[in-house]
């Protein structure tokens, strides 16, 4: 297996594809129809890594991912933040004045709504951004444009008519990199880490309050807390937490000891360094 093979959901030119190229410039990428397909390639050993989006600063979390990850035997080894810069694309030689119809994923259309309205374009929702770019390259109709990445423009030989077509600045997607092998970095005092895990609480009064209380009493910061019902159940909830610490730090050791008294089915999803983007933003 080539250690540089990385799978992602979408077609060539998708923002996930762009994230792969930014984070792993020399990687071989595999486009997959679904998140599950991308993760399965890693489980099967066909790919070494999977680049999976988990949240966007504008659209919020990708809830499907939080349901999928605990059911797979994969681990988070890295996080990657990719700025989403929507480009308005058209056929080579076209101009903005030629465009009447613009297609893209519904989220991208929503994030470019003001510009679409101001230019009196007719928006057409498609399955994904890069797929829209691929479609107009085949359609060869000068009145049709697409909203997609600069990588999609390059791959499908399209003109970038506007390289910053989104309505808002600072649109960023957080990705996690999944591996079949757990790769816990050695603790270094000058680095910052995230420990991710999922758990269920025991059926006792105030179980969640007590389970999380150990983090407060030991001064451990929780970066994220997500909850969702398990498949086939309307009652049992599972919780995903991202912890601002490394498992070798004494405070986290004590907090996790308390967690075990009030939680069950604790599963470690990975320990990884904070991305430089996260640290810079803070």
175 is catalytic: yes
- Enter the tokens of residue 251: 């405070």
Rounded Cα distance between 194 and 271, Å, is 6
- Enter the tokens of residue 189: 């005092």
29 is catalytic: no
Which of the following is catalytic: 24, 35, 121, 175? 175
- Enter the tokens of residue 262: 């009030």
Sign of the Cα torsion 8, 11, 12, 16 reads negative
Strands (E), 33-143: 49-56, 60-61, 75-83, 87-90, 101-104, 122-125
Which of the following is catalytic: 173, 215, 239, 262? 173
Relative orientation angle of helices 207-217 and 250-262, to the nearest 10 degrees: 170
Residues annotated as catalytic (active site), given as ranges: 173, 175
């Amino acid at each position: 297996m080539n250690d540089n093979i990385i799978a992602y959901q979408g077609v060539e030119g998708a923002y996930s594809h762009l994230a792969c190229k930014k984070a792993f410039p020399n990687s071989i990428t595999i486009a997959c129809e679904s998140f599950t397909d991308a993760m399965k390639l890693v489980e099967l050993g066909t790919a070494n890594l999977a680049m999976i989006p988990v949240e966007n600063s504008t659209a919020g979390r990708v809830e499907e991912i939080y349901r999928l990850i605990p059911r797979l035997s994969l681990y988070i080894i890295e996080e990657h933040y990719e700025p989403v810069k929507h480009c308005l694309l058209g056929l080579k030689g076209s101009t903005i004045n030629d465009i009447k119809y613009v297609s893209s994923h519904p989220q991208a259309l929503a994030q470019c709504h003001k510009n679409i309205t101001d230019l009196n374009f007719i928006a057409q929702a498609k399955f994904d951004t890069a797929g829209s770019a691929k479609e107009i390259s085949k359609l060869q109709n000068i009145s049709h444009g697409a909203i997609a990445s600069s990588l999609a423009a390059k791959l499908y030989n399209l003109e970038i008519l506007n390289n910053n077509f989104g309505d808002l600045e600072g649109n960023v997607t957080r990705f996690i990199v999944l591996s079949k092998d757990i790769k816990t970095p050695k603790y270094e005092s000058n680095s910052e880490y995230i420990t991710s895990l999922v758990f269920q609480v025991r059926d006792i009064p105030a179980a969640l309050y007590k389970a999380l209380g150990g983090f407060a009493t030991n001064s451990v910061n929780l970066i994220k807390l997500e909850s969702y019902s398990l498949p086939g159940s309307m009652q049992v909830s599972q919780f995903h937490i991202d912890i601002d610490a490394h498992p070798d730090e004494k405070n986290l050791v004590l907090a996790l000891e308390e967690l075990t008294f009030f939680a069950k089915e604790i599963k470690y999803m990975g320990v990884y360094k904070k991305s430089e983007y996260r640290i810079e933003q803070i």
